[in-house]
Amino acid sequence: MVNQSSLRGAGQMIELRQLSKQYGNIQAVTGLDLKINRGEIFGLLGPNGAGKTTTIRMLTMLTRPSSGTALINGYEINRDFSKIKKEIGVVPQHMNLDEELTARENLELHGRLHKMPRFQRQQRIQELLAYVELADRAHDLAGKFSGGMKRRLMIARALMHYPSVLFLDEPTAGLDPQTRRKIWDLIRRMNSEGMTVLLTTHYIEEAEVLCHRVGIMDRGRLIALGTPAELKKRAGEVVVEAFSRSGTEYRFFANREQALEYAGSHTENVVIREANLEDVYVELTGRKVGD
Ligand SMILES: Nc1ncnc2c1ncn2[C@@H]1O[C@H](COP(=O)(O)OP(=O)(O)OP(=O)(O)O)[C@@H](O)[C@H]1O
Ligand SMILES: [Mg+2]
């Protein structure tokens, strides 16, 4: 028998086609066209209200698009509902563990909902609790966990049924730097084992170190797309920061020589440094992250 998933092997894992969502007169997402490759870690960036969560909610079939559609591993959202449910794991922006259940029971419940056989469930729970370093807390209530532990448990839960795509909506929001790096390692490890990952973040350095490509959203639209290096090149690789009473002015240059020349003509305090993805982001969205 031919394996369906191997037939679906090549090309894109996720394809958005003019995906749009309107809430009353709020246009949350407008005509998104985007292809995400198999095995890619893709990051969606954008200010509050840009439409990132709405996009993920449509792709994971928690809300229906107003128009347009999307394919996941070749299956169309809301049409091939149960096939897509098997393909995807979801870690939502807000904590939604069952706090009255233990870590183990949270995973058990998810396994049952996915109709995993008992033996497979037991094995997978063991494996995943070890994977997210919560094996010694298996029997503690999820409600008693710290933010980082809850987040790791949510990731384990999303992985229970062996999905091929993982959606992570702000996986490291509010976590300390060590815990954040642990989650990065977890994401990298899953990805090296073949998982396609779509995540959103407000931490630009997170996108820069973790994502193969990023898309920047603003007011429901995709306004930039590329690898972090491509996006930086587009804005200019060297930045001159000139401080003055009226605020800091940022100017982008293709190389250090041009930057030095400009800086030399300036009387204020200036700093010359390499551009980072945050500079590009601010330049494109015209606002600081989170504004
Ligand atoms: N259920 C809803 N009902 C009405 N409006 C909604 C709903 N969900 C989202 N919106 C609106 O859609 C827009 C996009 O919201 P969304 O949550 O997708 O943004 P986001 O990019 O995830 O923002 P954040 O970075 O703050 O998480 C906002 O204007 C928001 O108010
Ligand atoms: Mg959001």
pLDDT of 134-143, one tens digit each? 999 999 999 9
Centre of ligand 1 to C-alpha 186, Å, is 28
Distances (CA, A) of 223 to 47, 138, 170, 240: 12, 43, 20, 24
More confident call, 71 vs 244 = 71
For residue 81, pLDDT beyond 60: yes
* Domains of the chain and CATH, by start: 4-224 (3.40.50.300), 231-285 (no CATH)
Write down the pLDDT at residue 288: 45
Atom of ligand 1 nearest to the CA of 24: 4
Q: Considering all CA atoms of the chain, what is the largest pairwise distance in Å, rounded to the nearest integer? A: 74
The pLDDT-based confidence of 248 (bands split at 50, 70, 90) is: confident
Write down the pLDDT at residue 290: 47
Estimate to the nearest angstrom the gap between the alpha carbon of 165 and the chain centroid.
11
Tokens representing 126 are 């063991």
The pLDDT-based confidence of 85 (bands split at 50, 70, 90) is: very high
Estimate to the nearest angstrom the gap between the alpha carbon of 150 and the chain centroid.
17
Write down the pLDDT at residue 158: 96
More confident call, 218 vs 233 = 218
The pLDDT-based confidence of 184 (bands split at 50, 70, 90) is: very high
More confident call, 101 vs 282 = 101
Ligand 1, atom 30: closest residue by C-alpha: 49
Write down the pLDDT at residue 245: 80
**Alpha-carbon dihedral angle through residues 157, 161, 166, 171, given to the nearest 10 degrees:** 10
Amino acid occupying residue 82 = S
Write down the pLDDT at residue 6: 41
Centre of ligand 1 to C-alpha 190, Å, is 28
For residue 91, pLDDT beyond 90: yes
The pLDDT-based confidence of 266 (bands split at 50, 70, 90) is: confident
For residue 161, pLDDT beyond 70: yes
Write down the pLDDT at residue 249: 85
The pLDDT-based confidence of 268 (bands split at 50, 70, 90) is: confident
Centre of ligand 2 to C-alpha 51, Å, is 7
CA angle 144–120–107, rounded 5-degree value: 15
> How many residues comprise the chain?
291
Q: Is the CB of 102 under 6 A from ligand 1?
A: no
